[in-house]
């Protein structure tokens, strides 16, 4: 990514480009825009992570509550964001057997009931069986530990989404 070009974006353009690096939280990009100039993509990522970490518990839970369930209602309805669709599809969640879907949806409901936010895992770094396994394991955690785990997964998702933007903007067809 050409950081000079990024640093010259007005806030509308910046939000267009980075508004979904944290799922459905354009306010993150809108806030971080004020931290320009960024020297590198890592610098931009650090600003985003610092902003996330600086949120109170309620703010972190708010970030998580904007994220759709894996293999959930929005996937069935076809209303996922392009990024989430790609991630869920890559993890094999668009081709679940009926039994696998019911199992995941059941565990997702139990998880949400216990923690008050959806189960978040970096889908691109896991496949459907690992996701189901992690969900069953993480549901046993204490709430504070699980809030921490979920936010760390948000950062992994964000990192990969930023890399995608970087790749799309630097690789040009010859």
Per CB under 6 A, 122 contacts ligand GUN: yes
CA-nearest of 156, 143, 144 to 52 is 156
Per CB under 6 A, 52 contacts ligand GUN: no
C-beta atoms surrounding 165 within 10 Å: 17
**CA pseudo-torsion sign 70, 20, 155, 150:** negative
Tokens of 8: 């010259």
Return the residue nearest ligand GUN (CB atom).
Answer: 84
Choice from 67, 96, 132, 135 touching ligand GUN (CB under 6 A): 67
Nearest distance in Å: CB 4, ligand GUN: 30
Triad 30, 125, 148: Cα angle to 5°: 60
Question: Phi and psi dihedrals of 28, rounded to 5?
Answer: -65, -50
Using CB under 6 A, which of the segments 7-15, 44-52, 115-123, 132-140 binds ligand GUN?
115-123
Nearest distance in Å: CB 26, ligand GUN: 16
CA distances for 14 relative to 9, 31, 71, 77, 155, angstroms: 6, 11, 30, 29, 19
Tokens 């010259």 belong to residue: 8
Per CB under 6 A, 96 contacts ligand GUN: no
Choice from 23, 29, 71, 107 touching ligand GUN (CB under 6 A): 23
Choice from 6, 107, 121, 162 touching ligand GUN (CB under 6 A): 121
123-142 positions binding ligand GUN, by CB under 6 A? 123
Binding site for ligand GUN (CB under 6 A): 23, 67-70, 84, 87, 118-123, 157
């Amino acid at each position: 990514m050409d950081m000079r070009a990024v640093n010259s974006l007005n806030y509308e353009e910046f939000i267009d480009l980075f508004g979904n690096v944290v799922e459905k939280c354009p306010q993150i990009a809108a806030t971080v825009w004020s931290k320009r100039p960024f020297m590198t993509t890592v610098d931009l990522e650090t600003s985003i992570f610092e902003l996330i970490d600086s949120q109170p518990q309620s703010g972190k839970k708010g970030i998580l509550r904007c994220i759709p369930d894996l293999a959930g209602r929005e996937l069935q309805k076809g209303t996922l964001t392009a990024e989430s669709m790609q991630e869920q599809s890559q993890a094999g969640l668009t081709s679940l057997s009926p039994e696998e879907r019911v199992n995941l949806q059941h565990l997702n409901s139990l998880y949400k009931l216990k923690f008050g936010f959806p189960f978040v895992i970096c889908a691109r770094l896991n496949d459907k069986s690992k996701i189901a396994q992690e969900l069953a394991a993480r549901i046993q955690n204490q709430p504070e530990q699980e809030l921490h785990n979920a936010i760390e997964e948000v950062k992994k998702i964000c990192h990969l989404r930023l890399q995608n933007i970087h790749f799309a903007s630097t690789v040009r067809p010859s």
